[in-house]
Structure 1
Amino acid sequence: MLAGQDYLASRQLATAVFLALELGRPLLLEGEAGVGKTELAKVLARALATPLIRLQCYEGLDVASAAYEWNVARQMLEIRIAEAAHQAGPEGQKGRERLLAGLYSREMLLERPLLQALTQPKSPVLLIDELDRADEPFEAFLLEVLAESQLTVPEIGTIRATHPPIVILTSNRTREIHDALKRRCLYAWVDYPDAARELEIIRRKAAGAGERLGTQVVAFVQRARRLDLFKAPGVAETIDWANALVALDRMSLDPQSVSDTLGVLLKYQEDVARLEGGASAAILDELRAEGILDRLAS
């Protein structure tokens, strides 16, 4: 199913996705940035023809942004209408209680991603992206959603999903996720692909590169990841680099082309400087010694 959407998963990852669907459990994906964790959720939604609801995590994320908030503007309007009609005055306490109940009714809730995911007519894919960027206390709020597919709003009670969402959580592991949350999820580590699988990805995502340039790009990137870089290039960068070289009408790697396009592959100046300082030339020499450049160029 994933391959049909041009997502080439390892057997272990595909098995984890299958079990998450079969068992109705959230799936926590950890791994380096750029290895395809977020893309997996997008592909899964397309393959299942179901909506994708995304909650992008960040420091300071709160319930109002993640789950729900009250429609304050509408509440104020209701109060003014009630005052104009003197509803609260003549009826005394009962009128005030009825007005208060109306102000905190289901219709007054503004749905944010978590609540939206629980109220869809069809099970959506709920992507909770980069959870490690959120504050640790936010994880505790997620436990009810992950374990029970429900959300408790103190003023009106518990809202349960008729069609529970398919939950994918991702983490770049900038901090550890709490055990209480991990216990409620299936887990998979998403690693960089091996050379054969990365080449097949290039064939699908950067078909214009052709076999020769695609093979050279993958071989170069695989070796670059072995260096002690601040941020090793992910699969997304490999695809971008191959497409960039095609846009420059390059048919084969050469020192000048590599130097001109390192900013596509690497995102930190320290890493760019290291490759320009001799590392890229050493990699090209290795590929040439192994016959990858010369043999394919001939």
Structure 2
Amino acid sequence: MRHPAKRHHLSRAGAGLAITALALAVPSLAHEAVETTPDPGFRPQSPYAAEFVESAGTATIAVLPSIVRRAERTAHSFNSQDQIVVFLNKTGIGTPVTKSRRVDLGPLRRPSQWEIFQYGAETVASELQGHKTGADYTLVMEFLVPDQKSVFGIEIYVLDRNGQNAFSFLLNAHHEMFADAKLLARNSSEDARQAMITDATRVGLMALKAQIEKASDCIAATAANTPTRASTGILHDFETELVANTNDEGIQLGFSTFTGGNSTVSIQRSNAHPEMPGEEKANHVLELDLEVTGWAGTSLLFTNS
């Protein structure tokens, strides 16, 4: 049974390219990535990711109002929330449940998107401890809008019912789908800013779908590469003569013995042994006689006979 953790940190491993500095004084940095990657965002590893992916289509997902992080405060978008609910229903990723609980992450103050992401995941998890959604998972999307004219980054938090990170990830200008979307407001009007958030929501949902597909393929590939285990059974019942021969290269096949020094070893079938409970009469076993001064043993090289 997993126990809820009040606060938790996501691993820093592999953050690499996807973690960029947030410079509030230079908003144009939001669209000036030196290089991009086709990956649909950066998703830290989670021991609960496979369970989330495998439950896609059957799990209930509580969707909270989307978070719009501005330099001075946190705002919320119910239009974005509705957009997410429609998408989850349409794609069958899960059964969405609309929740009105708003998570306030405060003003946009941390120096990097990775720290913003960690803080957001911890805060959402803390909120869920005091306000259970009753769903299998909770999803909330966050948009980083330091200047109100452009979206610097997107975070999607997916937590399980215990507040553990199940499938959270982030996007920024280092990811092709984000960079290609050019998430800019056409002008300073409220309608233009809302259209920008609508476009950002669409990008985040495309990334979520791509992340699930990518993880699903990875899970399938891992299962396909799992070594096959032989079924249990009887290797040899010794009710027939011991097979021993050599192949064309002179390698001994079947049962053979080996010794070193002055040791002796012999093997044979025998029915002279203490009986086990339920054992059939005249049951044969392998009798191994050894006199060892150095080393000795027996081997069975498998044959088709």
TM-score, normalisation: structure 2: 0.21
Whichever structure has more strand as a proportion of its residues is 2
Q: Which structure: larger Rg? A: 2
TM-score, normalisation: structure 1: 0.22
Bigger relative contact order (CA 8 A; separation at least 6): 1
Whichever structure has more helix as a proportion of its residues is 1
